[in-house]
Structure 1
Amino acid sequence: MKENAQFYTQPLSKTIGQQIINVNNSSILELSKESIVNLFRAQGLLLFRGFEADVETFTKFSNELSTNFMDYTGGVFKRKVINGNSTLLSVNDFKDKVKLHGEMYYQKNIPLMLWFFCANPASQDGATIVCDGKLFFDELSDILKDLFSRKKLKYCGHLERDAWRKRYKTDELDVVKQTCKSNDTHLQINEDESIDVYYICPAIHPNRTGEAMIFINSLLPAMAISTDLVSFDDGTNIDDTIMSELNEIAEKITVEINWQKGDILMIDNTRIMHGRRAFVNDKRDIYIRLCSPAFFY
């Protein structure tokens, strides 16, 4: 453990992240923002533990380091608004596992940074899982590296009227048109007012400096839900051999975060993929905020 400005840190794992540990009974709001930013730039994932934060403190702390908060318009999961704040959302509306993914990579406008807050951990299971997208890319076979350099992913969806009203938070198809246009998403409106959408993007992306490639996308959970949701951009299927290799890599490099009450997690959504293990009880209460960093990154 080493001293770093106003806090102590220790590795979250051998491959990813740092924990910022409260050993001086400090408030998280008193921590050196400059030190946090520098550590985040280097690590891409920070876990703040032992600060006894509540929802109000979490909101204030994340406000100080973030900008451009999003309300999850266009998001595929159902998420409940917390305390009337449309940028503070629950992630517990179902209990199944969620495979590793980048947040909202099925559209153009993604949150560059994510915050998670543990209001209450599950009594068992329900760990959040994370991995470094650079390490994931490095683990790919040469065949898959070449394949993903040549072919992009095509995310597809069919939404009945009630479904698109919930996803896009509107009753107006003109608003849906504008949202899809801003996200480079192809939209088809059907006679019954259902819609079909698709979005094409790479599975791999260069990092901020352009010196390395990152495997980050929404492929794994989309394929787990239905093989109809994603294909290659040329229309060819993503076969079982490809998915087997990807799932094997995911399990090999996954790191689990077993929540403690008051934990805060800060994630670079251009580099770090996340997901979760399944859980069975109703006590798990984890919140998320989607945003951009309020600092040069």
Structure 2
Amino acid sequence: MEQIKVSNSNFKPEFNRATRKSINLQKELIKLDNSGGEQIPLIIKPSISDVDLADWAEANREFVDTHLTKHGAILFQGFNITTAAGFERFGLAVCSELFNENGEHTRETLTGKVYTPVFYPADSKLLWHNENSFNYRWPRKILFGCHQPAQQGGETPIVDSRKVFQLIEPKIREKFVEKQVMYVRNYGNGLGLDWQTVFQTQSKADVEKFCQSNLIEFEWKSNGGLKTISIRPAVIKHPQTGELSWFNQAQHWHLACLETQTRESLLSTFKKEDLPRDCFYGDGTIIEDSVMTHICDIYQNLEVSFPWQQGDILLLDNVLTAHGRNPYVGERKLFVAMSELISFSQT
């Protein structure tokens, strides 16, 4: 454990040495724990009781940002932040902004900037992904807060996206870098959210305007549904460090990555072109199943999981760290917030 002393700008030079020493001793507010040897997550805990994490984080944002860029993930434990309001207050302390422009999530509270996780069946694993990497704009940071851990399971596994990039076979990596990833989505077919929910409008004109400004091809279908096609990078550089990161959601969209029963059910229900979600190389050619198996094996070997405790907060650099969700039993309640919207043109 490494103890961190927090400076106080209110200290005055006329204080005598004994007084300064006494105050400094009270400023050892947090401690770092990375003794497990894992690079992620860095764990920060209070070293004294009743530390106000939001106040501490606001005064030490540069410290938090430095460690987040180094590790990609920070887990704050023992600070007892269990309400959406407290979670949002902390989010605003460590982020320049929180935003609510994500139709993939539903509101958790009237604060407007705290969400519940996107729905996914509790008995299935939600595979690793960098949040919204299929969109033209996506969050630099994402936060999760534990209001109630599941009775069993429900961890949020995380993976260092820099290591994923490094471990993918060079020929596969180069092909994705060259061709990128094409994401194809059909809305309004009875599965998943409809376009009105995702785009938060009833106006087709508004949807078209959004698609045009976000480099999304679109097609209105005869049944009133919508089909979109987006071509995005598979690899990007971190906007601050320049490190290369595997930044996409191919394994989140590709049929080969689904459970066998789910995949067979979808293929028996929909034509290939009408599947709710699918992905290809950016030129429209098929991404081989064997390639996706190789990529998923790397994620699986690299993933780090920890059991949620009530009051935990996980802060992720969305470029450096992918996340997922393990199956669970019992009620599970997490808060989600996203911050610092950025686009591919800024990387």
- Scaled by the length of structure 1, the TM-score of the pair is 0.90
Q: 1:214 to 1:169 in 2, by over 3 A?
A: same
Which whole-Å CA distance do the structure 1 matches of 2:53 and 2:229 have between them? 42
Q: CA deviation at 1:92?
A: 6.1
Aligned sequence identity (%): 20
Q: Which residue of 1 aligns with 2:185?
A: 157
Which whole-Å CA distance do the structure 1 matches of 2:188 and 2:54 have between them? 45
1:28 aligns with 2:53: yes
CA-to-partner distance for each residue in 1:170-216, whole Å, 9 max, x for gaps? Answer: 11111111222232111112344321101001111122356431102
Q: 1:190 to 1:169 in 2, by over 3 A?
A: same
Q: Which amino acid aligns with 1:91?
A: P
Q: Which residue of 2 aligns with 1:237?
A: 286
1:252 aligns with 2:301: yes
1:199 aligns with 2:223: no
| Alignment counterpart, residue 280 of structure 1, candidates 329, 336, 346 | 329
| Alignment counterpart, residue 64 of structure 1, candidates 87, 93, 96 | 93
Q: Which amino acid aligns with 2:3?
A: E
Q: Which residue of 2 aligns with 1:186?
A: 217
CA contact (8 A) 2:176 2:281 kept: no
Q: CA deviation at 1:280?
A: 2.5
CA-to-partner distance for each residue in 1:35-59, whole Å, 9 max, x for gaps? Answer: 2233223222111000111222211
Q: Which residue of 2 aligns with 1:267?
A: 316
CA-to-partner distance for each residue in 1:76-119, whole Å, 9 max, x for gaps? Answer: xxx33112233211116332311110001111010111011000
Aligned length, in residue pairs: 290
Q: 1:166 to 1:121 in 2, by over 3 A?
A: same
Unaligned runs of 5+ residues in structure 2 are 6-28, 264-271, 342-347
Indicate the structure (1 or 2) with the bigger Cα radius of gyration. 2
- Scaled by the length of structure 2, the TM-score of the pair is 0.78
Runs of 4 or more consecutive aligned structure 1 residues displaced over 4 Å after TM superposition: 225-228
Q: CA deviation at 1:164?
A: 0.6
Q: Which residue of 2 aligns with 1:133?
A: 161
Which whole-Å CA distance do the structure 2 matches of 1:149 and 1:51 have between them? 41
Q: CA deviation at 1:232?
A: 0.7
CA contact (8 A) 2:40 2:74 kept: no
Q: CA deviation at 1:4?
A: 2.1
Asked which structure has the greater RCO (Cα within 8 Å, sep 6+), the reply is 1
CA contact (8 A) 1:92 1:286 kept: no
Q: Which residue of 2 aligns with 1:115?
A: 143
CA contact (8 A) 1:44 1:267 kept: yes
Which whole-Å CA distance do the structure 2 matches of 1:7 and 1:23 have between them? 5
More strand by share: 1
Q: Which amino acid aligns with 2:33?
A: Q
1:9 aligns with 2:57: no
Which whole-Å CA distance do the structure 2 matches of 1:93 and 1:206 have between them? 30
Q: Which amino acid aligns with 1:135?
A: K
CA contact (8 A) 2:157 2:306 kept: yes
